[in-house]
Amino acid sequence: MNSQYEDILVEHHDNGVSLFTINRESRRNALRTQTALELEQAFKEFDESDQRVAIIAGAGTASFCAGADVEDIPELWRCVPTVGITTEKPIICAVSGWCVGGGLVIAMMSDLVVAAENSQFYYPEAKLGIAQGMIASLAARIPHKIAMELMLLARKIDAQRAYNCGLANLVVPNGRHVEAAREMADEIAELAPLALKLLKRYVTEEILPKGPTEYFGRAKRAMGVTENSEDFQEGIRAFKEKRKPVFHGR
């Protein structure tokens, strides 16, 4: 268990499976700024490690994730697979209860989804009068009309309908979602990592269309590399000290 985080729990298992749990059950696992930053960092460490498969879950069974915390709205792109989370290793989303807003975005951008029978997928932006647009990519992942129903009518769909339309790979009894995701991850962890990475890379980069908000998040991530670099700090220091900077590419 990794204890360096406040909003998430991280478990690394010996067979290469890592479990990331959004640990804000009292807030229905809503995402605040701290949560997004911690998920972004934890997945960076996961990607650089020898671990092979990731599972994302929420604490408890009432809610996988209630979306953005309205008291502290995060930069959601930071914790979205293929946008802020850039690993080419497989990601499984284990859903139970409410999967709302940004939680639905995380689920749809994961590679596989296991849903408990009590799961409810819901995107309420049209009822709130705000839209950031990343949900548009849902139409590239499930049938167009069902995606538009979720977005334009802000209607909920249950686990069985999510399975029927391809949003979920598996529906399991309540309380078994993480266990079932672990079984799936254990199976994947025995397969060839390089082959899995190549397949995911081709699907992510060449096959699936990307929406404007995805490109925005990717651009922000890329710019962040230079903005947070030692070279940038060296450049500022050298400018102030009126000397030639010495860059090291980090």
What pLDDT digit, counting tens, does each position of 21-63 carry?
999 999 999 999 999 999 999 999 999 999 999 999 999 999 9
- Is the entire prediction scored with pTM above 0.85? yes
What's the confidence (pLDDT) of residue 218?
86
b/e code 115-140 from CB counts within 10 Å (16+ = b): bbebbbbbbbeeeeeeebebbbbbbe
Q: What is the pLDDT of residues 150-175, one digit of tens each?
A: 999 999 999 999 999 999 999 999 99
What angle do the packed helices 212-227 and 230-241 form, to 10 degrees?
A: 50
Distance CA 202, CA 204 (A): 6
pLDDT tens string 113-138: 999 999 999 999 999 888 888 999 99
Domains and CATH numbers, the chain: 8-241 (3.90.226.10)
Q: What is the per-residue pLDDT for 234?
A: 85
> Hey, what amino acid is at 34?
Q
Name which of 13, 175, 38, 39 is nearest 94 in CA terms. Answer: 175
Q: Residues of the chain with pLDDT > 70: what percent?
A: 99
In contact, 105 and 139? CB cutoff 8 Å: no
Q: Are 61 and 175 in contact (CB under 8 A)?
A: yes
| Cβ neighbours around 196 below 10 Å, total | 18
